[in-house]
A and B are shown apart, each in its own frame.
Chain A
């Protein structure tokens, strides 16, 4: 157990639907990062939050959004889902910018 909790572990949904992925960072970590891993694209950085504020954005689609709440947990919202959004979505947290990240076990999203 890495200390980063992601729920749900698996999610199957239909095209056009909206889903919310949840991440609880390791205790004391203020930064949360979201990554997408699909078969043909490797690990792609989506977005980072630090203590509730957005700090960096990667190739995140406009259909996707995220936020970090006062208790530091984060949610990634994916809407108007397409087949190509099927992937593993990982959340990671870190204590500060120069420390290593701790990743969760991911949410496997399947869009049918």
Chain B
């Protein structure tokens, strides 16, 4: 599975959009980009995933660049409850496991 690079920490003001970047320059054609988050010591929570097209759900939007070497997770109106560690993971189709890196610690400030 391709390695991902994320900034260790980010801050965002409450009510603003939080944009979390992820680099995955060695991604191959059949590998998906997944995003999870972990609030304090709770179990990680699935957010969204995509292959090449942009995706949106009730939680977030995922923007994948045309060359697929990077992506951005967008939380459109961040709230204090979005404070968490966000993990960007690249995973091959049919691959058996998700490999978590260190993620980005996002702090939403009032």
Contacts and interface: CB of A to CB of B under 8 A. Distances in A.
A and B assemble together: yes
Contacts of B32: 98
Contacts of B101: 42
Contacts, number: 55
Interface stretch (A66-74, A77-85, A100-108): A100-108
Contacts of A55: 96
A58 B99 CA distance: 10
B4 to A, nearest CB: 13
Interface stretch (B5-13, B15-23, B44-52, B67-75): B44-52
State which size class the interface on B falls in: 20 to 34
A76 interface: no
Contact of B93 (A43, A98, A103, A108): A98
Nearest to A103: B43
B94 A97 contact: yes
Given A2-B43, A98-B32, A58 B49 contact: no
Contacts of A101: 36, 44, 46, 98
A90 B102 contact: no
A88 B96 contact: no
B46 A48 contact: no
A40 to B, nearest CB: 11
Contact of B41 (A2, A4, A33, A106): A106
A97 B93 CA distance: 8
Given A103-B43, A103-B44, A106-B43, A48 B34 contact: no
Interface of B: 32, 34, 36, 38, 41-46, 49, 87, 93-103
Interface of A: 2, 4, 33, 35, 42-43, 45, 48, 55-56, 58, 88, 90, 92, 97-98, 100-106, 108
Given A2-B43, A2-B45, 15 more contacts: A4-B43, A42-B100, A43-B100, A45-B99, A45-B100, A58-B97, A90-B43, A92-B43, A97-B95, A98-B32, A98-B93, A103-B44, A103-B45, A106-B42, A106-B43
